[in-house]
């Protein structure tokens, strides 16, 4: 069938075909894993000779699984239009020309996906994944609705919240050096977010041009700088703000706002840098060409052809980041980053639900206000 | 005859990916003050040829002389300085849409000013005066502080012309300057280019789609087909046979008045 006819013709196509087969093999392997997992999950619930046991593979089990899945994959390939072929866009042409009626009814666009083999397979894999996930994390919906005495107590005490320490510092935090009133800490928190956003954006802005393919050109040095900057963005972005806060809390001091600012700033640089440089890469190249043709230098290209195009989206991204930073700064104290979260988690640990309620209410009000503010700003700018 | 102003010798351009040959051994000469029109189908290499002449695209092989200077040997820095003398206008105008017309026109002056000044947006008073004069010349003086994207297509191309005028060029490269415009606007734009050619003595190289426009404005025509030079001569020399040779058998000449 199709697979044999392409063997002789085109080595590149053959390679893709083998890759498609590999993908099919892998997805069948995944199915086999799912089946084994379910078998195991149910097996131990069945009393076998009066004690529970787990299912183990017989010695021939592994080769059987490997070969069985391979056989299934090859079968998929041979009958045409497998998931792997579809993923690699290896079209298998229909042998028979369409009738007029079929063409009229839109059959030329192919069968609807749920009637093709790859479509069935895709739906099956999706269903398997959901079912498997459900079992693996052992979702217990009952627990969600089980009456909890502790929760009821907590909710009862949160209302009404106790705003005793809104302006007056709580003496429990006497040793911290800063007066710990809700208002004071909230101000610190908002400024943490603000400083982190401004600092982060200020560093990310120039860096982003070094991480943009169309600015760096295709010289070896250009590639190197691009690679380093992009690598920096990707690595530092994949380390979450909370993890950075752990690092800086140890480095600077537990509970110091500076640690929080540093953590937020580092992550902001990397996240904004990536977003910025993608914007720079997406500009219309026309004005760049025009400025170069007029004898402009690289900096002039950035100033006159690139910046005017990206400034609105830069603002939008920065404000969006400011939203994230405000929310993040309220909880960063969990890992020693300072700010209002310091009070939040202290009261939570002490079971001071009424005081906690006041802190939460303030956070909600401030976060909502900041969201609203940045939303309005974004509307005005973009 | 005098020393030609522009000499293109055995120019070849191969795009690295896919080994597409855009230009094959193209040679021609242009005298000072000529209005040379380049015709040919889409993809025949017109844009590539124009962009090789100011090295927006690096030629693969061949040499280009402008005014006796072998520009294919200039360093990037020298080339940047040399580009001041070469104005360019584009099919899609290539204006900075979010900036004012004035800023757009002033960008034509970037090559004449130190970078540290232009980065701060500081242009000498004389440049700003020149900008207004050039805007007046293309009839857009009252639009000087309007954002470029608020103008119509024809007006945008006139801003493009004013920008090119700012360079006080000796040579103008026009890459399909009117193919995004309607017939009436096309003529108005072409007349501004003709005026540059006649009154300021600017040598013009323009690629055009319509043969009628080429005949009306060009003093000489060259034709490209699949990257090769297939015609070089006076506009009158293009008869039906030549036309079919350049544009293919099925082509039908369309008039634009």
Domain with CATH 1.10.3720.10 in chain A: 171-381
Residues forming a β-bridge with B23: B13
The answer to whether A267 and A260 are in contact (CB under 8 A) is no
Q: Do the beta carbons of residue B223 and residue B230 sit within 8 Å? A: yes
Which of chain A's residues have a Cβ under 8 Å away from the Cβ of B176? none
Dig out the tokens for B50 from the structure: 């124009």
Please count the residues of chain A.
Answer: 382
What average pLDDT is seen over chain A? 84
Contacts B80 to A, Cβ<8 Å:
295-297
Check whether B16 has a pLDDT greater than 80: no
In this prediction, residue A4 carries a pLDDT of: 45
Does residue A178 sit in helix, strand or coil?
Answer: coil
Matching CATH number, B6-97+169-247, of 3.40.50.300, 3.40.50.2020, 3.30.479.10, 3.40.50.920: 3.40.50.300
pLDDT recorded at residue A96: 61
Q: Which of B95, B115, B167 sits opposite A294 (nearest CB)?
A: B167
Q: Which residues of B touch A308 (CB under 8 A)?
A: 96-99
pLDDT digits (tens, 9 = 90+) for B188-234: 999 999 999 999 999 999 999 888 889 999 999 999 998 999 999 99
CA closest to B53 among chain A residues: A293
* Mean pLDDT (whole number) for B96-102: 92
Cα(A382)–Cα(B97) distance, rounded to whole angstroms? Answer: 14
The answer to which of A46-60, A180-194, B116-130, B138-152 has the lowest mean pLDDT is A46-60
Please report where in the chains the tokens 């070089």 appear, as a residue.
B232
User: Rounded to an integer, what is the distance from CA A171 to the centroid of its chain?
Assistant: 41
A180 vs A166: CA distance, rounded Å: 9
Strand, helix or coil for residue A51: strand
Tokens read off for B217:
């404005």
The confidence score (pLDDT) of residue A253 equals 86
Q: Do B96 and A308 touch (CB under 8 A)?
A: yes
Provide the pLDDT for residue B9. Answer: 93
CB contact under 8 A, A295 and B88: no
Is the CB of residue A218 less than 8 Å from the CB of residue A233? no
CA dist., res. B108 & res. A311, Å (int): 22
DSSP string, B20-49: EEEEEEEEEEE-TT-EEEEE--TTSSHHHH
Stretch A286-304: mean pLDDT: 92
Write out pLDDT tens, residues B45-68.
899 999 999 999 999 899 999 999
Which of A280, A312, A308 has its CA nearest to residue A380? A312
Q: Identify the pLDDT of residue A7.
A: 46
C-beta atoms surrounding A64 within 10 Å: 13
pTM reported for the whole predicted model: 0.74
Give per-residue pLDDT as tens, A221-276: 999 999 999 999 999 999 999 999 999 999 988 888 899 999 999 999 999 999 99
Cross-strand partners of B222? B38, B232
pLDDT at B17 over 70: no
User: What pLDDT score was predicted for residue A41?
Assistant: 74
Q: What number is the average pLDDT over the span B137-149?
A: 92
- Average pLDDT for A322-347: 88
Among A286, A296, A303, select the one facing B90 at the smallest CB separation. A286
The distance of A102 to chain B (nearest Cα, Å) reads 34
Q: Do A307 and B94 form a contact (C-beta atoms < 8 A)?
A: no
Mean pLDDT score, B116-134: 92
User: Looking at beta carbons, which residues of chain A come within 8 Å of B94?
Assistant: 286-287, 289-290
Q: Dump strand ranges (E) for chain A.
A: none
pLDDT band at A300 (very low <50, low <70, confident <90, very high): very high
Q: Which of A43-47, A164-168, B99-103 has the highest mean pLDDT?
A: B99-103
pLDDT at A115 over 70: no
From the list B174, B164, B166, the residue with the least C-alpha distance to B133 is B166
**Separation between Cα atoms, residue A220 and residue B149, nearest integer Å:** 37
Is pLDDT at A371 greater than 80 in this prediction?
Answer: yes
Cα dihedral A331/A337/A342/A346 (nearest 10): 90
Dist. CA A249–CA A259, nearest whole Å? 5
CB contact B17 to A (< 8 Å): no
d(CA A169, CA A166): 8
Residue A71 dihedral angles phi and psi, to the nearest 5°: -60, -45
The answer to whether the CB atoms of A293 and B119 lie below 8 A apart is no
Q: Tell me the average pLDDT of chain B.
A: 90
Longest dimension (CA), chain B: 57
Contacts of A292 in chain B (CB under 8 A): 56, 83
Average pLDDT over residues A264-293: 94
Of the given ranges (A75-89, A201-215, A303-317, B102-116), which has the lowest mean pLDDT? A75-89
**Structural fold of domain A171-381:** MetI-like fold (1.10.3720)
Measured between beta carbons, the chain B residues lying within 8 angstroms of A286 are: 90, 92-95
The ipTM assigned to this model is 0.88
Tell me if B6 sits within 8 A of B66, measured CB to CB: yes
Question: Å from B68 to nearest chain A CA?
Answer: 20
Does pLDDT of A51 surpass 70?
A: no
Q: Which of B227, B256, B190, B215 is nearest to B41 (CA)?
A: B227
What confidence score (pLDDT) does residue B254 get?
67
For residues A112-116, average pLDDT = 67
| Disruptive mutation site among B15, B71, B96, B131 for chain A (greatest number of A CBs within 10 Å) | B96
Residue A84 confidence (pLDDT): 79
**pLDDT higher than 80, residue B249:** no
pLDDT at B105 over 90: yes
């Amino acid at each position: 069938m199709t697979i044999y006819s392409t063997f002789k013709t085109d080595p590149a196509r053959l390679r893709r075909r083998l890759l498609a087969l590999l993908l099919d093999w892998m997805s069948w392997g995944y199915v086999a894993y799912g089946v084994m997992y379910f078998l195991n999950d149910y097996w131990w619930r069945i009393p076998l000779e009066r004690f529970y046991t787990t299912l183990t593979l017989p010695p021939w089990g592994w080769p059987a699984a490997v070969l069985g899945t391979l056989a299934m994959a090859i079968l998929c390939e041979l009958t045409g239009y497998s998931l792997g072929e579809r993923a690699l866009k290896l079209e298998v042409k229909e042998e028979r020309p369409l009738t007029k009626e079929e063409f009229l009814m839109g059959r030329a666009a192919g069968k609807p996906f749920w009637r093709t083999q790859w479509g069935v397979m895709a739906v099956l894999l999706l269903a398997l994944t959901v079912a498997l996930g459900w079992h693996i994390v052992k979702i217990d919906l009952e627990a969600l609705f089980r009456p909890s005495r502790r929760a009821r107590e907590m909710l009862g005490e949160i209302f009404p919240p106790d705003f005793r320490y809104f302006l007056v510092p709580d003496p429990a935090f006497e040793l911290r050096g800063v007066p710990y009133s809700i208002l004071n800490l909230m101000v610190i928190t908002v400024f943490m977010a603000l400083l982190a956003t401004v600092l982060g954006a200020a560093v990310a802005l120039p860096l982003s041009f070094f991480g943009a393919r169309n600015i760096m050109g295709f010289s070896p040095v250009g590639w190197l700088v691009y690679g380093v900057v992009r690598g920096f963005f990707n690595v530092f972005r994949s380390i979450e703000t909370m993890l950075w806060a752990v690092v800086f809390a140890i480095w600077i001091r537990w509970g110091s706002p500076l640690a929080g600012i540093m953590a937020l700033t580092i992550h902001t640089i990397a996240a904004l840098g990536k977003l910025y440089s993608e914007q720079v890469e997406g500009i219309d190249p026309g004005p760049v060409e025009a400025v170069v043709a007029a004898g402009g230098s690289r900096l002039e290209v950035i100033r006159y052809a690139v910046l005017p195009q990206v400034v609105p989206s830069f603002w939008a991204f920065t404000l969006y980041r400011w939203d994230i930073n405000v929310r993040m700064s309220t909880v960063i104290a969990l890992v020693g980053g300072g700010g209002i979260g310091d009070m939040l988690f202290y009261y939570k640990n002490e079971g001071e639900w009424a005081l906690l309620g006041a802190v939460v209410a303030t956070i909600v009000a401030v976060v909502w206000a900041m969201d609203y503010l940045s939303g309005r700003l974004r509307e005005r700018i973009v | 005859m005098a020393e030609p102003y522009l000499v293109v010798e055995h120019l070849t351009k191969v795009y690295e990916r896919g080994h597409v040959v855009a230009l094959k051994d193209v040679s021609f000469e242009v005298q000072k003050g000529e209005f040379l029109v380049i015709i040919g189908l889409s993809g025949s290499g017109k844009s590539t040829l124009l962009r090789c002449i100011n090295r927006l695209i690096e030629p693969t092989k061949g040499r280009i002389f402008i005014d006796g200077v072998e520009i294919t040997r200039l360093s990037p820095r020298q080339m940047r300085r040399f580009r001041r003398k070469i104005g360019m206008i584009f099919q899609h105008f290539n204006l900075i849409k979010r900036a004012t017309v004035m800023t757009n026109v002033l960008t034509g002056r970037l090559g004449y000013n130190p970078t540290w000044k232009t980065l701060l947006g500081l242009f000498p008073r004389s440049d700003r005066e020149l900008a207004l004069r050039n805007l007046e010349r293309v009839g857009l003086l009252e639009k000087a502080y309007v954002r470029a994207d608020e103008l119509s297509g024809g007006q945008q191309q006139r801003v493009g012309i004013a920008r090119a005028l700012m360079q006080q060029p000796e040579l103008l490269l026009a890459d399909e300057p009117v193919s995004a415009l309607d017939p009436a606007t096309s003529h108005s734009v072409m007349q501004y280019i003709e005026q540059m050619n006649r009154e300021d003595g600017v040598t013009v190289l323009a690629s055009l789609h319509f043969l009628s426009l080429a005949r009306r404005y060009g003093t000489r025509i060259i034709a490209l087909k699949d990257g090769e030079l297939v015609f070089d001569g006076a506009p009158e020399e293009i008869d039906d046979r030549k036309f079919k040779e350049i544009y293919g058998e099925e082509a039908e000449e369309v008039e634009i008045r």
